Structure 1
């Protein structure tokens, strides 16, 4: 079973359980009240690369500020570290007031938790619109909903949509499953800038983290720029091997390249984050961040 989890959240009336049953084919056996807070379930994903059973945590948003404050807190660090996907489920609003007061505020709160997961977190963020029995509903096109949810880092999914869009891409639940299958469920736990305390930095670099030459004393002397160059060389080597070996598996090669490119993107995030740190923490943070990315290769 994967160590990473899917967190599904939504209001009590957001039809979270209807969404869950459609996604997994079943409902939790231990459902005991009208609230879906605290329920757990599993999702089995099977692709040509892996088969994995993903644990699902289900929670309920009553107050988005309180909810996000709790999940973004230091105390919730271990919870955030094991998340591989966050799915926000909501009913289509029936008025602009409902859209502003509920959907937008919920997205702000859930987006705050995503930020708290840290720069290196590479999980999936999806916002799923469920049908509403009441009419009229707020009229927004899929493109408009995309703009709304992307502002908070979420991809919009229309629960009722079927088939493919104008670009030939799957929509609706088919797209949601595709996004989950493409995620790296075996990636190491992520950490955020706020998760690094003084003890962890001292452990990384010792009492005097930088020597007279400006190197980290724990042996991890590669900074993000140097690591990026080394990975670029590895990228070229992979491509070269693909040309020379007649029996190489093309699908496996493509998968390796995608993994490498994703790691390089995370390194770019490392560089961006390092620029915001005090000078005395930059190298120690870079060392830990680079080591974290190395585990994914």
Structure 2
């Protein structure tokens, strides 16, 4: 019996990275992509569906990625006001009674924004939409805003990046700069790695757990118990040592201990 598919929606204006994010989730290279219909750069990406299978060491899950573009049709001349109005229209249609069953079936939505071309006014309106989605959809759904620059652009010409980032982070939403790499100052994944992490760590509606053998489970339990005991010893030793340090020395020592623990685990 085949496993049911989960549904995730990627929605945003033209040239805002929707296909790049879909490819990333599928784990395929830029020059290889399987789509339900052919298109070229002048076609709207609305209606594309990419089917993939997420496999981690803990589970497998079938995921259908829906692409929705705002507006649904591309026109040669499209002002920022047109784009904002199209976003408002999309939101009203998305939460109409006719769409209720689709909204309930979704496991997550990723909104995209082009931070080279999209305005602060567009970002403000997108914030309103994300708030509405958060309020009206399942609280367990994956929800993120991914900022991209058009292909071939350099990071330095992101016009309002800091302001746009603040708009979403200050309201507690997941905001990802697609182009960032490595870890941030809090040792958290960034960019593409963070998107993959969100997808792999999500608790999908339909997923098949990978069963471990008894010997694997016993071996892992022993290792975890031993690691925990050793970690507690290290923490107690650090606590005793810190009692004899000045406040400034304590801060420096605490940072060293944190680095040691991170490397240890």
Q: Normalising by structure 1, report the TM-score.
A: 0.55
Distance in structure 2 (CA, Å) of the matches to 1:150 and 1:20: 23
Contact 1:72 1:112 in 2 (8 A): no
- Displacement of 1:130 in angstroms is 0.9
- Secondary structure at 2:186's aligned position in 1? coil
Match for 2:100 among 77, 102, 105?
77
- Secondary structure at 1:184's aligned position in 2? coil
- Cα 1:247/1:39, change in 2 over 3 Å: same
- Displacement of 1:111 in angstroms is 3.1
For 2:227, the equivalent position in structure 1 comes to: none
| Larger RCO: 1 or 2 (CA < 8 Å, sep 6+) | 2
Match for 1:138 among 143, 159, 163?
159
- Cα 1:136/1:150, change in 2 over 3 Å: closer
- Cα 1:27/1:10, change in 2 over 3 Å: farther
For 2:25, the equivalent position in structure 1 comes to: 23
* Matching of residue 127 in structure 1 with residue 145 in structure 2: yes
- Cα 1:150/1:75, change in 2 over 3 Å: farther
For 1:58, the equivalent position in structure 2 comes to: 67
* Matching of residue 40 in structure 1 with residue 42 in structure 2: no
User: Greater CA radius of gyration, 1 or 2?
Assistant: 2
- Cα 1:152/1:76, change in 2 over 3 Å: farther
- Displacement of 1:123 in angstroms is 1.0
Task: Give structure 1 regions of 4+ aligned residues with deviation exceeding 4 angstroms.
Answer: 246-251
Contact 2:10 2:65 in 1 (8 A): yes
- Give ranges in structure 2 of 5+ residues lacking alignment: 72-85, 208-216, 225-265
Q: Normalising by structure 2, report the TM-score.
A: 0.62
Distance in structure 1 (CA, Å) of the matches to 2:135 and 2:140: 11
**1:54-77 Cα deviation digits (max 9, x unpaired):** 111111122111100111122211
- Displacement of 1:173 in angstroms is 1.0
Distance in structure 2 (CA, Å) of the matches to 1:153 and 1:9: 20
Match for 1:115 among 132, 135, 140?
135
- Displacement of 1:102 in angstroms is 1.9
Q: How many residues align?
A: 188
Contact 1:42 1:56 in 2 (8 A): yes
- Cα 1:103/1:93, change in 2 over 3 Å: farther
Contact 1:5 1:85 in 2 (8 A): yes
For 1:226, the equivalent position in structure 2 comes to: none
- Displacement of 1:145 in angstroms is 4.8
**1:107-162 Cα deviation digits (max 9, x unpaired):** 322432332215xx301111111124387432444xx6553224565311111111
Distance in structure 2 (CA, Å) of the matches to 1:80 and 1:250: 40
For 2:12, the equivalent position in structure 1 comes to: 10
- Secondary structure at 1:37's aligned position in 2? coil
